[in-house]
Amino acid sequence: MLAFPPLGQRRTRVLLIAFPLAAIALSLPFYKVFDAIPAAREAWAVVLAAAVLYGVSHILRALRLALLAAPALGLPVRTIVLLHFHTAPVSFIVPFKLGELYRWQQLAWLSDNPIGSLVLLLLERTLDAVVLLIVLAIVIAVGGRLPPHTELLSGLLTFATILGLFAIFIAPGCLEAMQAYILRYHSAPRARRVLRIIDSTRIMTGSANERLRGNVIPLLFLSVAIWALESGMLLLLAERLNRETGGFLTSLLTMTLSPQAAEGPAVAITSLYALVCLMTLLLVWPAATILYVMRIRYPRRGNPARQKSLAVHRTRRLHLRTVGRTL
């Protein structure tokens, strides 16, 4: 899954262009995008304003990913920003957020670090979940109860937050203890292979912890701004179609998890929402993809992602020797 052919081969460039387009084409029937075209024509000013808000939110998402991944994976900032816009349309693959697998694949392919890429994307989703949970807590504090039809959403956000916080703050210590146990009681070749995997995971979760601790304020600010912009977009569309946002959120979640089960009047605003998102992303995607392919094929300077990090390997050997001596 992670090993694409070399960039010089034509089939690699075809894959990079064809896969996002195929994902968009397959998602169109599920979201009933074509049914929303008449409403978009009637409310073109609202649609334009919503598209601007959504576009700015994706710019902030790209900056947040660059802030996390550039120092941790050794990738240039411009490459990560272009990667974000190249992979963004694939997020429309159903069920919900399955397109993140493609972003993970691209990060892992460029950096040759699948574990670190997975940890960083998990950190990104944790930041989103924390912001949304805070918003839900405020709504509960003001209204005195959970908003209707948001029980499943609340459960998913809580699970994502707990999983992310565990991986970032608790997992490094657990993995270090597991390393010490394996070094003390196991010496088979299989144990050494497992030890290398555990150590790589420990290093990357520790790196994610450092990235979060050192940049928690800018990361939270970007996350709040992202969801404020997207919420403004949703409110604009809901007001145009005279729909309640609660019903829309339920319909959107239902369509992304199980499109066949979606029904009710909120499907109209869900389709309009998907249409606006696709229109916005497709305006940027061709140029971003061309620049992305050119940049990773003809880098202006040596791509540090293609080179093994000596610092990481030295740290790993030093850590294993230190743990071995202490035992």
Q: Give the per-residue pLDDT at 4.
A: 54
Distance CA 130, CA 224 (A): 10
Answer yes or no: are the C-beta atoms of 121 and 209 closer than 8 Å: no
pLDDT digits (tens, 9 = 90+) for 172-201: 888 888 888 888 877 777 887 888 888 888
Q: Which of 1-5, 136-140, 156-160 has the lowest mean pLDDT?
A: 1-5
Residue bearing tokens 């003809």 = 298
Answer yes or no: are the C-beta atoms of 149 and 249 closer than 8 Å: yes
Which of 17, 60, 100 is closest to 288 using CA atoms?
Answer: 17
Answer yes or no: are the C-beta atoms of 226 and 63 closer than 8 Å: no
Phi, psi values for residue 2, rounded to 5°: -85, -25
> For 109-113, which contacts have Cβ atoms below 8 Å and span 24 or more sequence positions?
109/2, 109/3, 109/4, 110/73, 110/75, 110/79, 110/83, 110/296, 110/303, 110/305, 110/306, 111/69, 111/73, 111/74, 111/75, 111/305, 112/305, 112/306, 112/308, 113/73, 113/204, 113/305
Structure tokens at 315: 């740290």
Which residues are CB-neighbours of 25 under 8 A, at least 6 positions away? Answer: none
- Work out the average pLDDT over 158-174: 85
Distance CA 47, CA 279 (A): 10
- Work out the average pLDDT over 294-301: 68
Residue bearing tokens 């601790």 = 213
* Amino acid type, 55: G
Residues 56, 62, 67: CA angle, nearest 5 degrees: 130
User: Across the chain, what does the average pLDDT equal?
Assistant: 76
Q: Is 229 left (phi over 0), alpha (psi -120 to 50) or beta?
A: alpha
Structure tokens at 27: 């998602």
Residue 211 CA, chain-centre distance (Å), reads: 16
Q: Which of 59-73, 138-152, 265-279, 307-321 has the lowest mean pLDDT?
A: 307-321
Q: Give the per-residue pLDDT at 1.
A: 45
pLDDT digits (tens, 9 = 90+) for 60-115: 999 999 998 888 888 899 999 999 999 988 877 655 566 788 899 889 888 888 88
Residue bearing tokens 């990667």 = 83
Structure tokens at 68: 């996390």
Phi, psi values for residue 156, rounded to 5°: -65, -40
Answer yes or no: are the C-beta atoms of 295 and 79 closer than 8 Å: yes
Is the bond preceding residue 95 a cis peptide, omega within 30 degrees?
yes
Per the model's pLDDT, the better-predicted residue between 28 and 175 turns out to be 175
pLDDT digits (tens, 9 = 90+) for 242-281: 655 555 555 555 444 444 444 555 567 777 888 888 889 8
Residues 49, 50, 54: CA angle, nearest 5 degrees: 120
